[in-house]
Chain A
Amino acid sequence: MSTLVPQPPRKSKAGWNLLGLLVFLTAGFPVYWMLNTAFKPEKDAIDPDPSLLPTSLTFSNFGRALDIADFWGPVGRSLIVSLAVVVIGMVVGLLAALAISRFAFRGRKIVIVGILAVQMVPLVAMIIPVFLLLNDLGQYDRLSGLIITYLTFVLPFTVWTLRGFIVNIPKELEEAAMVDGCTRAGAFVRVVFPLLAPGMVATSVYAFIQAWNEYLYALMLLSQNNQTATVWLSNFSTKHGTEYAPMMAGATMMAVPIVVLFLLVQRKMAAGLTAGAVKG
């Protein structure tokens, strides 16, 4: 840790490592147990004295999970909604982010404060009027209604994050390109955009995860026939009591792609997150 002050290294480190392992086991246990249950025979799952280690491997729970209720329908709908939200959100969000990061104009600060403030509105509080609004517009039980609703909570975050990435790209690069004869748009496409791409990918994935994971609005704004993946999972226990092993199989199918996506962008997002925080 430090070179100046000698520390008794070996001995104390083992203690810390042990503690670290304990944290690893505790934090990871729910995930482990989900996987463990998903892959074990159903009768082992209802053993009153279960073994902590995997006993035998089976995929039958996944088949059962797919049988219990239509799985691909909800997943397809979730995909449509999330992708639409990402595409629209990124285009609209990028334009807005450019406006507040690259231009000085009267009212800029108010816009920024507004976008930040909007993020703080608890979504749960908005469900009643949003439900009534979509009801009036004839958008109840339509995916388009859900998409436009999700945009409102993905947009502020997208704008703010993209703004962070844009601000980190020196304006001089753009200016140099313009001196060399690029138009403003040309300078953006050729110089800023390539530098911004990784940040945009990370932001899109993050927005995708947000939309994919949302539950309350998906539950309230769509009927049973149009449910999305999260609602599908939460409805699992209705058929013949709760069948936990297939339920964990369903949970695994929902979680694994998301966790993998999350792993891909997590570092980038977390880095952007603290880049300026301490300096402030």
Chain B
Amino acid sequence: MSAADTTTPAKVPPRRQSPPPPAVAKKQKKPKKTPRDRTASGARGLPWLLLAPCLLILALVLGYPMVRLVILSFREFGQSQLWGFQPAEWVGLDNFTKVLGDGEFWRVVVRTIVFAAGCVIFTMVIGMLIALLLQRVSGWVKTLVNIALVASWGMPIIVATTVFKWLFDADYGILNALLSRLPGVEMTGHNWFASGREGLAVIMLLVVWGAVPFVVITLSAGLTQVPKELEEAARLDGAGAWGVFRYVTLPILKPIIVMLTTLSVIWDMGVFPQVFVMRGGHPEAEFQLLTTYSYDRAFVVNDYAQGSAIALLTVALLLGVVAVYMRQMLKIGEVE
């Protein structure tokens, strides 16, 4: 969802069997003193009480719809069911077989995977290069780059999309004007969105532009924790710049990289507003990604059941990545 989703606290302080507190204190205060003490009476219900509002909201607006999404995908659910004219009949796996048997669906799947892979790879590689570069530049350059990065990170996605639409405008866009100034290039009036390939490349650029700052800032912070002594030792042993990076920096940064990559995959598979707004609310067939395709099925074709089936299949595609991310999170979070 956002950058700080990955906020990882320092380790939980080791469980400490503190020496029995002074008897006086114990006598006058409640026995809840050591919160980890499971046997402490009365404390047992408290955490659940504290959690209750949170769990209630999540169950109502997330849990219930999630169950509903699954049920929906096994039913027939269109306009007439929405208005209650007809009961929603169970159709078993019909929706899935219909979706999976559709060549269009598979084209969308391949397009989505290629698109997301491109976004993730470019984001990670460019992010890493900029983070490494920032270690080598003077302070004032670093500040300038950081300002630009934070500004582009903070830009609301809709604003960024609108700005890119303007940059790539066929007639008055600055990009075509600049390219046309190059000798031998005539780009005035070139429509970047005439073909899905070029259009999605522009959208990929937009996604990468928005995602790189988070990666750079996180990796930069990680790089400061790479011990200088290790790098020097490697260098003295004859490692070149690449060797130091490959055998010292990279292994140390691995947890962060795994986390950033999995997060990027999850985010980039879920790209929606960028495509949707860029194409004025009606993405053409060549622009459809799984997210917009599911939306299209549900709200344009009014087949909510098939839309749900597509959404479920998207989630299933992501499960593996989510598992890796969760494992990493739990490892870092040191959840006992």
Return the contact of B35 from the options A21, A116, A171, A259 (Cβ within 8 A): A171
- Whether A116 touches B21, Cβ cut-off 8 Å, given contacts A93-B54, A109-B335, A278-B225, is no
Interface of B: prevailing SS: helix
Q: Which residues of B contact A126 (CB under 8 A)?
A: 62, 65-66, 69, 311
A53 within 8 A of B: no
B124 within 8 A of A: no
Complex interface bits, A44-62 against B, C-beta within 8 A gives 1, otherwise 0: 0111111010000000000
A2-19 contacts to B (CB < 8 Å)? 2, 4-5, 12-13, 16-17, 19
B194 within 8 A of A: no
The stretch of B89-97, B99-107, B154-162 that contacts the partner chain: B154-162
Q: Which residues of A contact B255 (CB under 8 A)?
A: 277-278, 280
Q: CA A275 – CA B224 in complex, angstroms?
A: 11
B247 within 8 A of A: no
Q: CA A270 – CA B7 in complex, angstroms?
A: 8
Q: CA A34 – CA B32 in complex, angstroms?
A: 57
Q: Which residues of B contact A115 (CB under 8 A)?
A: 58
Return the contact of A216 from the options B166, B177, B272, B311 (Cβ within 8 A): B272
Return the contact of B152 from the options A31, A95, A170, A271 (Cβ within 8 A): A31
Q: Which residues of A contact B212 (CB under 8 A)?
A: 27
Asked if A23 and B154 sit within 8 Å, CB to CB, the answer is no
- Whether A96 touches B150, Cβ cut-off 8 Å, given contacts A20-B133, A24-B145, A251-B159, is no
Q: CA A238 – CA B151 in complex, angstroms?
A: 28
Asked if A272 and B4 sit within 8 Å, CB to CB, the answer is yes
Q: CA A220 – CA B145 in complex, angstroms?
A: 37
Q: CA A6 – CA B113 in complex, angstroms?
A: 46
- Whether A244 touches B21, Cβ cut-off 8 Å, given contacts A126-B66, A266-B153, is no
Chain B minimum-CB-distance residue to A271: B221
Asked if B138 and A128 sit within 8 Å, CB to CB, the answer is no
Asked if B50 and A133 sit within 8 Å, CB to CB, the answer is no
B190 within 8 A of A: no
Asked if B154 and A127 sit within 8 Å, CB to CB, the answer is no
Complex interface bits, B170-204 against A, C-beta within 8 A gives 1, otherwise 0: 01101001000000000010000000000000000
Q: Which residues of A contact B117 (CB under 8 A)?
A: none
Asked if B65 and A130 sit within 8 Å, CB to CB, the answer is yes
- Whether A276 touches B333, Cβ cut-off 8 Å, given contacts A2-B228, A46-B172, A99-B48, is yes
A87 within 8 A of B: no
Chain B minimum-CB-distance residue to A247: B162
Asked if B266 and A122 sit within 8 Å, CB to CB, the answer is yes
Asked if B50 and A279 sit within 8 Å, CB to CB, the answer is no
Asked if B326 and A27 sit within 8 Å, CB to CB, the answer is no
Min CB gap B169→A, angstroms: 7
Complex interface bits, A101-140 against B, C-beta within 8 A gives 1, otherwise 0: 1111100110111011111111111111110110100000
B5 within 8 A of A: yes
Interface of A: prevailing SS: helix
B142 within 8 A of A: yes
Tally of contact residues, A, Cβ under 8 A: 126
Q: Which residues of B contact A237 (CB under 8 A)?
A: 280
Asked if B72 and A275 sit within 8 Å, CB to CB, the answer is no
Return the contact of A108 from the options B28, B47, B222, B252 (Cβ within 8 A): B47
Return the contact of A23 from the options B33, B44, B60, B145 (Cβ within 8 A): B145
Asked if B291 and A122 sit within 8 Å, CB to CB, the answer is yes
Q: Which residues of B contact A275 (CB under 8 A)?
A: 8-10
Q: CA A48 – CA B174 in complex, angstroms?
A: 8
Return the contact of B291 from the options A93, A98, A124, A274 (Cβ within 8 A): A124
Min CB gap A202→B, angstroms: 8
Asked if B167 and A30 sit within 8 Å, CB to CB, the answer is yes
Q: Which residues of A contact B163 (CB under 8 A)?
A: 30-31, 33-34, 248, 251
Q: CA A19 – CA B132 in complex, angstroms?
A: 12
Q: CA A148 – CA B59 in complex, angstroms?
A: 12
> With A13-B137, A31-B163, A133-B68 given, can you name 12 additional A-B contacts, CB distance below 8 Å?
A4-B232, A20-B145, A95-B51, A102-B35, A111-B55, A120-B325, A168-B9, A210-B1, A213-B156, A254-B156, A259-B155, A269-B7
User: Can you list 26 A-B pairs, Cβ within 8 angstroms, ordered by A?
Assistant: A5-B232, A13-B136, A20-B145, A21-B141, A96-B54, A113-B326, A115-B58, A121-B315, A122-B291, A122-B314, A125-B294, A126-B69, A156-B58, A157-B2, A163-B9, A175-B18, A175-B33, A175-B34, A237-B280, A247-B166, A271-B221, A272-B8, A276-B10, A278-B222, A280-B331, A280-B332
Q: A residues within 8 Å of B by Cβ?
A: 1-2, 4-5, 12-13, 16-17, 19-21, 23-24, 27-28, 30-31, 33-34, 37, 45-50, 52, 91-93, 95-96, 98-105, 108-109, 111-113, 115-130, 132-133, 135, 148-149, 151-153, 155-157, 159-161, 163-165, 167-168, 170-171, 175, 178-179, 181, 183-184, 203, 206, 209-210, 212-213, 215-216, 220, 230, 233-234, 236-237, 244, 247-248, 251, 254-255, 258-259, 261-263, 266, 269-280
Q: B residues within 8 Å of A by Cβ?
A: 1-13, 18, 21-22, 25, 28-30, 32-38, 43-44, 46-48, 50-51, 53-55, 57-58, 60-62, 64-66, 68-69, 72, 82, 130, 133-138, 141-142, 144-145, 147-164, 166-167, 169, 171-172, 174, 177, 188, 209, 212-213, 217-218, 221-222, 225, 228, 231-232, 235-236, 252-253, 255-256, 259, 266, 269-270, 272-273, 276-277, 280-281, 291, 294-295, 298-299, 304, 307-308, 311-312, 314-315, 318, 322, 325-326, 328-336
